[in-house]
Amino acid sequence: MKQHQWEAYESISLPAIQHIMTDMMKDLHAFLEENEIPYCLAYGSLLGAIRHDGFIPWDDDMDIFMMRKDYLRFEALAKTKLPKRFFLQTPLSDRHFRLLHVPYKVRDQHSTLLEEPDRFYHQGAFIDIFVLDDVVDEDNLNRALKRCSMLSSLKMRIDASQLKGVKKYLRIALQLLFKPIPAAWIYRYNRKRADRLKKDEKSAYVQVGIEHMERLRMRRSDLFPLQLHTFEDTQFYVPHHSDTILKQIYGDYMQLPDPKDRVPHAKFYLDKAVFEWKS
């Protein structure tokens, strides 16, 4: 970002960005409720809701789960009806965006949260959407996950110094080979693989979508029916058995991490013309 562009922004505190994200989530919650699209908090946001009744004190993003059929409805509605403060970011809507393991983000149009300062994609405060699939044909699902994860990883930044021997040089060679291939091409391939998976809304299990490079699998009965839970000064949806899901992801999730690990992901900058925040 050029110097004259930086002059329109000012650095802000973590509580300020959490305030903005809570406000974003309120608007997104209202939009999803109005259009009868189910969602629930996920990962760190779910942990924050259950352990802190809000954000984990050092967290700087929000995560939600959404079944694939519901995400597809949301994606279609977002083209014309999403509140103007939001931008639905995918590798198709933002040609510079290449985070293929988290390819669905609802971005705030008026803030900047620098995950990768030298990249040119939209980096507003965001809510990550993790799509869930029915687990029907497990063997086919695992094959698709392996293939999609391999392709997506080739667009991720990897510290080659952490690799040794043949793996190191193979990894470098593959990344150089795939460098000319746009992230949007891999995204389309992953989406097509996901669309071909068998669907069954009565399946016992659901799993984080193959494009996310995740193997998290949950009992449908632990996820549904969703219920409202306190989050800061409002309420958002959480899974039916949040405790079971959090133990599956984090183990003893009520145990606070070591102080050295209580750090946010990024630096925050805010558009002066739009928001005012007093710490």
Condensed to tens digits (0 to 9), the pLDDT of residues 240-254 reads 999 999 999 999 999
**Tens digit of pLDDT for each residue in 59-73?**
888 999 999 999 999
pLDDT at residue 214 is higher than 70: yes
Question: For residue 147, is it within any domain?
Answer: no
Average pLDDT over residues 80-97: 90
What pLDDT was estimated at residue 268?
Answer: 65
Domain CATH for 44: 3.30.460
Question: For residue 174, is it within any domain?
Answer: no
Instruction: State the residue range of the domain holding 100.
Output: 3-135+201-271
Question: For residue 127, is it within any domain?
Answer: yes
Question: For residue 123, is it within any domain?
Answer: yes
Average pLDDT over residues 264-274: 61
Report the range out of 43-47, 58-62, 112-116, 162-166 with the highest average pLDDT.
43-47
**Tens digit of pLDDT for each residue in 18-57?**
998 999 999 999 999 999 999 999 999 999 999 999 999 9
Name the domain count of the chain. Answer: 1
pLDDT at residue 200 is higher than 50: yes
This prediction has a pTM of 0.85
Complete DSSP assignment for the chain: --HHHHTTEEE--HHHHHHHHHHHHHHHHHHHHHTT---EE-HHHHHHHHHHSS--TT---EEEEEEHHHHHHHHHHHHHHS-TTEEEE-TTT-TT---TTS--EEEETTEEEESSTT--S---SEEEEEEEEE--SHHHHHHHHHHHHHHHHTTS---GGG--HHHHHHHHHHHHHHTTS-HHHHHHHHHHHHHTS---TT-SEEEE-GGGT---EEEHHHH-S-EEEEETTEEEEE-TTHHHHHHHHHSSTTSPPPGGG---SSEEEEETTT-----
Question: For residue 255, is it within any domain?
Answer: yes
Percent of the chain with pLDDT over 90: 51
pLDDT at residue 78 is higher than 80: yes
What pLDDT was estimated at residue 4?
Answer: 43
Confidence class for position 119, pLDDT limits 50, 70, 90: low
pLDDT at residue 102 is higher than 80: yes
What pLDDT was estimated at residue 266?
Answer: 62
